[in-house]
A = this chain, B = another copy of it.
Amino acid sequence: MLIRLSQLFFRTLREDPVDAEVASHRLLVRAGYIRRAAPGIYSWLPLGLRVLAKVEQVVREEMAAAGAQEVHFPALLPREPYEATGRWTEYGPNIFRLKDRKGGDYLLAPTHEEMFTLLVKDLYSSYKDLPLALYQIQTKYRDEARPRAGLIRGREFIMKDAYSFDVDDAGLAVSYQSQRDAYERIFSRLGLEYVIVAATSGAMGGSRSEEFLTPTAIGEDTFVRSPGGYAANVEAVTTVVPDAVPFDDAPAAHVEDTPDTPTIDTLVAVANERFARPDRPWAAADTLKNVVLALVHPTGERELLVVGLPGDREVDLKRLEASVAPAEVEAAGDADFAAHPELVRGYLGPGVLGPNVPVAEGAGDTARTSVRYLLDPRVVVGTRWITGANEHGKHVFDLVAGRDFTADGTVEAAEVRAGDPAPDGSGPLELARGIEIGHIFALGRKYAQALGLTVLDQNGKAQVVTMGSYGVGVTRVLAALAEANNDERGLAWPAHVAPAHVHVVATGKDPAVFEAADALATELSSRGVEVLYDDRPGKVSPGVKFADAELLGVPLVVVVGRGLAEGVVEVRPRVGGTTEQVPVAEAADRVSALVDALLAV
């Protein structure tokens, strides 16, 4: 393969696109790989399409190795199958819906569990047909509220989605492991660092789910790891619940004047000033913060919720969303408080919250609100709190959980912090950020049940099939590769996915240089090396050509220029390594060898 830049449809940009926040987005646009067509929707230029095809090829090969067969489904699908599983509604505003000319309801599929289930139901009927694994590489749609970071969170994107079908749980476990192994091979081959973390199943349903994350500071996902090997998406972390505390000796709750203390900081300061405790100063962790939030259900219904948690922790909206899926979570607004005057902003406490059960007197109890109240799991029985007394400028002290108040339940909504204990006792957690590049689900029987996919077992009895679903964000993987492989000068692709192996640059105006460069490019191409050849005429300066080569990010750059007079060309890796002066006659051999070495990694 030989691409001459004089003919290639590309243009590099010296300036960053204004909407680009992350390196991959910035550089893929600047290097002429992609262009934005609409928010979260991109067009692919020739070089981008080459990289995409290479990523897809790796995915295809590993799917085949895992015994998965390729099929292809439409993106435009009728409502009915998604209605049957409840997802037509559950997806809320996150999917694109439309009507055809006859008024029929359609969606642009965000994922295809329903269709795969129906297809297998159409074709197969016996346990002898299973296990079965199918996949597709296909364009998906999601009406993201906040498309961002270029290809990382788009609204039209390419996914590999695979599905497994088994007659029993043991079979599902094997299928799940087979895809999990395939994912490890895919990301290893692509040279993409990855971490496998426990995850929540969210709207997908199912019993077990893991995410493949590639660590990067710009990742949208936060995950945790412990020294003992625990790893989880932060949404999947469960709080280590402390033991209950004896409270027989605890003083009675007492309401105090705490003027101008609408925040935890002001409250702690006033508490220390007016109600200093003898043993140590009050701290934020002694306060119980009650945060009013709004759940937006897929039907559009808005429901308020109060989360009570230690005052030294914030509510993590993504963790809360994982707990209340498929609802989305928003901060409560003025209208919400206006509709609930019993929720006194800044001074809200359990006195008006939680189920209407008898609790101790003198705890600021008034008429109970109808708003649901959920507590952080750390607020165990016997813990003592400073918290709102449901009146401006007043807080209640020594309010004891289980004695003075209770709630409608607990919820995993508090932020996870570095140093928190791992739920499996494997030590303190450290936090990191990553991009989700794969997600695998042991779905179980949810979809097969809803859509009637059964097979006859050995005894002729119908069994509901158990399924798994396994996704790789193909376009996101490409972005993650760009994110992981760049420097201030541009992209620096791993050889396996680079749009070419070698970038030959002819500099100056000497026809002999262009002849030699052309001969070298042609020779390399004939040996199976993929070559980009910058044959643009002499008025394109060497500086521009070098800058473009560095921006485009082909792993090996060969400069044919002034050195030719001395019979040498310059060979330099895009990153690291050393520049070599190679005699022209040996150049093809030397470059081929270097390419082989890069590809052998």
Contacts and interface: CB of A to CB of B under 8 A. Distances in A.
Interface stretch (A8-16, A173-181, A455-463): A8-16
A84 B49 CA distance: 28
A58 interface: no
Contact of A71 (B9, B11, B70): B9
B71 A115 contact: no
A63 to B, nearest CB: 12
A536 to B, nearest CB: 11
A41 B93 contact: no
Copies of this chain in the oligomer: 2
Nearest to A81: B37
A445 to B, nearest CB: 20
Interface stretch (A94-102, A351-359, A418-426, A514-522): A94-102
Contacts of A11: 122-124
Contacts of A72: 43-44, 49, 52
A145 interface: yes
A37 B109 CA distance: 12
Contacts of A73: 37, 43-44
Contacts of A9: 69, 71, 123, 132, 134
Given A49-B70, A71-B49, A75-B156, A143 B37 contact: no
A76 interface: yes
Contacts of A123: 9-11, 32
A101 B71 CA distance: 31
A294 interface: no
Contacts of A156: 74-76
Contacts of A77: 37-38, 41
Interface residues of A, number: 50
A463 B96 CA distance: 40
A8 B98 contact: no
Nearest to A12: B123
A139 B145 CA distance: 25
Contact of A38 (B78, B134, B143): B78
B97 A43 contact: no
Contacts of A46: 69-71
A119 interface: yes
A88 interface: no
Interface string A6-47: 011111000000000000000000001001011001111110
A38 B108 CA distance: 13
A546 interface: no
A82 interface: no
A71 B44 contact: yes
A8 B76 contact: no
Sorted nearest first, the 8 A-B pairs with minimum C-beta distance are A98-B98, A44-B72, A11-B123, A93-B101, A38-B78, A41-B74, A43-B73, A9-B69
Given A35-B122, A49-B70, A96-B106, 5 more contacts: A37-B77, A38-B78, A41-B74, A42-B74, A108-B108
14 contacts: A9-B134, A10-B123, A11-B122, A35-B122, A38-B76, A42-B74, A46-B69, A46-B71, A75-B156, A76-B96, A76-B155, A76-B156, A101-B145, A139-B139
